[in-house]
Amino acid sequence: MRKKKDIQFYKEKVQFVFADAGRKVLNYKQVAARMDYNDGESRNLILAAIKQLCSEQYLEEIDTGRYILKFIPQFITGRVDMTQNKAAYVIPEDGTEDIYVPADYTHTALHGDIVKVSLAAHKKGAKRIGEIVEITKRDKNQFVGVLSIHAGYGFLVAEDRKMKLDIFIPKEKFGGAQNGEKAIAKITHWEPEDIHPTGEIIAVLGKPGVHETEMNAIVAEFGFASKFPEEVELEAAQLNTKTSSAEIKLRRDFRDVLTFTIDPADAKDFDDALSFEQLSDGTFEIGIHIADVSHYVQKGSALDQEAIKRGTSVYLVDRTIPMLPEKLSNELCSLRPNEDKLCFSVAVKMNHDAEVLDTWFGKSIIHSKRRFTYEEAQERIETKSGDLFAELEILNQLAIQLKEKRFKKGAISFETQEVKFRLDENNKPIDLFVKIRKDAHKLIEEFMLLANRKVAELIANKKSKEHAYPFVYRVHEEPNQDKLGQFNLFASRFGYHIQTSNVKAIAKSFNDLLEQVEGKPEQNLVQSQAIRTMSKAYYTGKKTMHYGLAFDHYTHFTSPIRRYPDLLAHRLLFGYLHNDKPGIEKEIEELCKQSSAMEVKAADAERASVRYKQVEYISDFIGDTFKGIISGVTEWGVYVEISQFRAEGLIKIQNLGEDYFDYDENNKWITSRNGKQKLQLGDEIEVMVVAADIFKRQIDLAWTASTVTANFRKKLDPRSNRKQDRKSGRKHPKRKR
């Protein structure tokens, strides 16, 4: 809590009093009255704050003891990023420096809202501060949480950590929810003078800790819907499933060309296929065929509007929340074997050196002869036997050469480690593993990258004296030098270093580093931090580069079933191929922004579902010890990634030992006051699991080298968990040896 004697506290308050007063003249007593501080000590501090603000040219003393605002407030629009202490930063839309908003001046703004900020005066180079004066757009007004019922009223305690206020729920608005149940509340009323927003329960999710409750809570928490609106399902049901002969005549016919799909074993929607043909001159024509979703989803339709709203499909641990109804995603637009399917295709003519000699773009009809799983395709590549092994071998060799060429141009290899679970019949995690990408995965990836690049280049190079041709591009900017410096400091803890002298040196250094860490305990941590150091990719209508892939121009064209930008790219490309008028740049940019925002939410939801299952899985290991890598050091404790689970837990500072520990922010380490112990980023330590809270998705750890761990052991009896597991017939993972 802030001390009242903190002069900065009074300066911030005084600034906003004068900003609110406009051009009125005030003395220090009037300022104190407006602040409701009337004791002598506060008045003296207010006068001292006024004097400082005069010296900083914020206020002007126009007569003895009488002051006026010298600085005319500037208004800036931006997005709210709430902090742990209820203060906020507003990230301006114009890309300028963030604005700090003290907790007392955020008013009713919530995380993610678009707001207007009144910017206070500040010295050059000093932190910008301001007051939120208007909320122009709410990010969301529905929250998932647990209902706590009292006599005649209740509060919804939101799960969203950025939502710092409980929502007041009148008794008549409980909507059938019981005390302690998870529910969704909608904010219905909130005046600036209200301590809490008022809301109503609009959906009851169920008892916390139950799998279905928790997964539905994640879907709702991030603003996605499990069900489609009735009019959307009706529109999908009415789609024509038969293709007319007239439509076929408008398309290139690939039905007699060898075509197949390669997808995960549990995939239901197959949105891409490859065709292969060796030509008489010894070259190859490879067709990259993408489901023609735009043929069925017309611009402005109910299906289209819902797809815009969702932006993307969401892939949780146990389910998919699709962008399009099942009639489209799993039937009409799924390139299932032995069925004629409508596609939008990119056909490339290549030689044995993977050089692209010619490219064709257009709508097509295909007939897939074979559906491979990744495992089946990989087996043929490795054993050089089985059906179509010769064709797969040629495609694999071409893909390897395409990848080598990308890397020579400066592409970066970010091989993320994807955590997967095996669930039992009750959706309990019984095993955790890391998904391994092999040649079959990379083969498909390289040809999808090629198609995306060729489409983007076609439009980017399209010239007209009268028109520009706006398109949807996937952009990845060069890394920020400050972030690179921070990453170098982080990497040095493990003995690594990257060169930052130029763009190619950065890419080569990253690739070398990622190769060096492979198979080491710190691999996942270093890879994750490297990805965070890179700029985030996003969609835009403005043509520019993709740094990570080393492409001058790049788009997303290959997954219109599950990504709206791909569907938009299909529509624009088809129009441009047929000399339609260019798309409306402003409209395309708005759709790109919406898709980028929903992509972030989908990624957050996917991470939340993985985190939930990690915590649930690790709850069987209470009292057990594991090796881990320190992944973060803060004033409240030490974060440790347990390598075995790819899961991060927290050792609270009070659980580090009986000695006092101090946090050194500059060096990012914690040291004991007796000087005998130090913990810093990158240290490998042994920890004990002391708690796993599946409701908060948090793991609490204790340091086994500390004296407090023995006390934890006395409180815990991990054998009781295992005994219960044996009774239910479920094997405890620890015993798998």
Q: What is the CATH classification number for the domain harbouring 90?
A: 2.40.50.140
Q: Residue 447: what residue type?
A: F
Domain count, the chain: 5
In the predicted model, residues of the chain with pLDDT beneath 50 are 1-4, 718-737
Does 259 share its domain with 370? yes
20 located within any domain: yes
Residue 564 falls within a domain, yes or no? no
Pair 408, 327 in one domain: yes
- Report whether 178 contacts 171 (CB < 8 A): no
Backbone angles phi, psi at 154, to 5 degrees: -150, 170
Residues 129 and 248 reside in one and the same domain: no
Both 167 and 274 in one domain: the answer is: no
Q: What type of residue is 605?
A: A
Identity of the amino acid at 450: L
Q: What was the pLDDT predicted at 123?
A: 56
Measured between alpha carbons, how far apart are the two ends of the chain, in Å?
Answer: 51
Nearest CA to 177 out of 208, 149, 219 is that of 149
User: Is-above-0.75 flag for pTM?
Assistant: yes
Q: Is residue 268 part of a domain?
A: yes
**Domain extent at residue 204:** 142-208
Kindly calculate the radius of gyration of the chain based on its CA atoms and give it in whole angstroms: 29
Any domain includes 508: no
Do 715 and 679 have their domain in common? yes
Name the domain boundary from 83, 104, 137: 137
Domain CATH code at residue 56: 1.10.10
Judgement on whether residues 374 and 287 belong to the same structural domain of the protein: yes
Q: Are residues 166 and 256 in the same domain?
A: no
Q: Pick from 118, 137, 156: which residue ends a domain?
A: 137
Domain containing 180 — which CATH number? 2.40.50.700
User: Are residues 181 and 323 both part of a single domain?
Assistant: no
Residue 59 lies in a domain: yes
Same domain assignment for residues 719 and 676: yes
One domain, residues 247 and 382? yes
* C-beta neighbour count of 604 within 10 angstroms: 15
Is 178 inside a domain boundary?
yes
Q: Are residues 644 and 702 in the same domain?
A: yes
**Which letter does DSSP use for residue 734 in this model?**
G
CA 373/CA 649 separation, integer angstroms? 35
- Residue 456's H or E segment, with its range, is helix 439-460
Burial environment of residue 192 by CB neighbours within 10 A (0 to 12, 13 to 18, 19 or more): exposed
Task: Count the residues in the chain.
Answer: 737
Evaluate whether 639 touches 631 at the Cβ level (below 8 Å).
yes
- State whether 11 and 159 are in the same domain: no
Q: According to the model, what pLDDT value does residue 3 have?
A: 42
Please tell me the predicted confidence (pLDDT) of residue 35. 87
pLDDT of residue 365: 98
With b meaning 16 or more CB within 10 Å and e meaning fewer, what string describes 653-677?
bebbbeeebebeeeebbbbbeeeeb
Q: Which two tokens stand for residue 131?
A: 């007051």
Is residue 148 a part of any domain in this protein?
yes
Mark which of 46, 69, 92 sits at the end of a domain. Answer: 69
pLDDT at position 436 is 84
Which pLDDT score is estimated for 394? 97
Number of Cβ atoms within 10 Å of the Cβ of 613: 27
- Give domain status of residue 458, yes or no: no
The pLDDT value recorded for residue 722 is 41
Give residue 188's pLDDT: 95
196 token code pair: 């809490």
